[in-house]
Amino acid sequence: MAEEQLEIEVREIFQCINNKKNFLLSGGAGSGKTYSLVQFIRKALNDNPIAKVSCVTYTNAAVKEIEERVNHPNLRVSTIHDFLWDNIKNYQRDLKKELIGLINDEKSNIVSPDGIVDMTYFDDLEDGIQYKEYNRIKEGIVSHDEVLVLANVMFKNHSLLCDILKDKYQFIFIDEYQDTSPLVVEIFLEHLVKSKKENIIGFFGDSMQSIYDDGIGDLKTYIENGLITEIQKKQNRRNPELVIKLANKFRFDDLVQEPSMDPKAPNMVNGVVKQGNIKFLYSENANLEEIKQTEYFTGWNFKDSKQTKELYLTHNLIADKAGFPSLMNIYDKDPIIRLKNDIRAKIKKDNIVIDESKSFGQIVDFVALKTRKQLRKDLITQDLELNALYNLLKDKPYSDVKNIFLNKEALIDDKKQDEEDESKNGSKRDPLIKHLFKIQSIVHLYKEKKYNEFIRKTEYSITSIGKKKEINAIISEIDNFSNKTIEEVIDYSDSKLICRKDDKYNRFIQENDYVFRRVKEVKYSEFQNLFYYLEGYTPFSTQHKIKGAEFENVLVILDNGKWNNFNFEYLFSDRSDKESVYNRTKKIFYVCCTRAKDNLVLFFHDPDETIVSQAKKWFGEENVKKI
């Protein structure tokens, strides 16, 4: 690659390398950080034909994108978890020792069901310590979180491991560094530097897009200590000028974005940056669907998920609009889970000794008596939904009820932005939801006339016209089962050989009777709506899941959804006394605004005058409209 073809920031990176300095490429939204990363990898491999390069990133989708853009035998692209595990998994003796040390460390979150353990704890493992999607510490199985902690202590305590890694990779690049755990950054910038071997560590990302609490956020301390050199990429190739100017008002670092100098950049027309449109709409009582019919959305197609997105802070805010409220309530707001957790908290707080073989109802009565609080019993009587669910479980052993687990990730994990998006590895959906996805996926394949894929996923073969008519009738029947229950559709699909109940499904419903009882009575139409939402066929998305994406039209709903981690009123009222919430909200706001390639509209329901006044300062008075 000729020197003059390289971006100026990439040339600056190579100056760092010549000076044997680690680096950080900071670039705002739409700056083309991935393009710079690809340019850099290509030149690094070209200049160092025998060197090995590792690129670690946050998602499997990013891995796939980089692999497609740079195809080279000396390049290893992986998620951070896979990278770390690959570099420690062969040292089983040390892994066992360090894992036992973590189990016995009261400051560690890694615990064994056996409590404190001795150094022979893992001696009988046939397969050694393993990394999987779930954890079973007693069996030596660790998951995502444990891998990060384990890798950190391995590199901290074993200098030879640091030597081996630096010998193996001359260059290690970390994409989307702001979302990387501080434990990982410690490995690269504190543990590895103790090795006398040489290699270059490069970080790519944007501190303003650090919207996950478990990420490092920024590398300010390491920059100030001289461990890395920061290079800023200020150009913006995505957003129109009005969005760039708006977004700059929310950055609280010293990076100020400016339109790209490249006349062929996506946000340029005839060599001039697009102006775009921004609007802040508010209303005291207007319906959002009515607002979407106003002049401010002329030309928007809310049925086109590739061009138009409607962003909410939480899945709960979306569930009603997308049509799966009952399923969301079961997985995220189950009253028995709240009651069970309340009882367990009281038992722990007051050191109450209980007999777990007794029924759930007996334990509830016993704890209420011991704590002299009948509040929960009164609540059970008054809350009709809770009362009905309580009656299902009150006679079951407490030991069974206390292990009932429901989590919204088991329902809504792996959300796609559009139908062409890639599914990730290791979905957290539970086997019941996965089974329902199989059914609806098979129906969808047939409707899309993808018959070969349909045949592979079923026990049907289309051998005649009659067989084709028979299958068509079955699929039509399932597709018209909107008012049938989920259980009826599962049974019908099994009986017709469309989607058989497998061992994972059968084991799950056997071990999770309460969950199945709740889900099976829900109308199948709700699951169909959930399917099309998660598969990217609707305009809805959460504001967290949208990072990295871009759309012609973006509507942002400024509603906290009862989530205390964010507060849009604080943002518009400059409530910097609530610094953590204020900064977190500012970052999510920045991420949402910078998704827009043409039109950006934000909607705030019933704001006070302070909020409207601030909106006029940020958006311009002419762009703030009451509906």
Please give the annotated binding residues, written as ranges: 27-34
Residue 544 and residue 565: Cα distance in Å, rounded? Answer: 13
Report how far residue 590's alpha carbon sits from residue 581's, in angstroms, rounded to the nearest whole number: 14
| Residue 272 half-sphere exposure toward CB, CA atoms < 13 A | 4
The widest CA-to-CA distance across the chain, in whole angstroms, is 80
**Edge-to-edge strand ranges of the sheet holding 22-27:** 75-79, 53-57, 171-175, 200-205, 22-27, 228-233
SS3 category, 61: helix
> For residues 408 and 331, is the Cβ–Cβ distance under 8 A?
yes
6 Rama class: left (phi>0) / alpha (psi -120 to 50) / beta: beta
The set of long-range contacts for 500-505, using a CB threshold of 8 Å and a minimum separation of 24, is: 500/459, 501/435, 502/435, 504/431, 504/434, 504/435, 505/431, 505/432, 505/434, 505/435
CA 135 to centroid of chain Cα atoms:
19
Q: How far apart are CA 397 and CA 388, in angstroms?
A: 17
Instruction: State how far the Cα of 462 lies from the Cα of 419, in Å rounded to an integer.
Output: 27
**Which structure tokens are listed for 315?**
């899945």
Which residues are paired to 604 by β-bridges?
Answer: 282
DSSP state, residue 238: S
DSSP letter for 523, please.
B
Cα-Cα end-to-end distance for the chain: 54
3-class SS at 259?
Answer: strand
Contact call for residues 45 and 72 (beta carbons, < 8 A): yes
Q: Can you spell out the DSSP letters for 569-580?
A: HHHHHT-TTSHH
Six-digit token string for 172: 């290690």
Tokens of 207: 């501190």
CA distances from 584 to 233, 255, 261, 543 (A): 23, 18, 31, 12
Provide the 10 A C-beta neighbour count for residue 395.
10
Numbered residues of the known binding site for ATP: 27-34
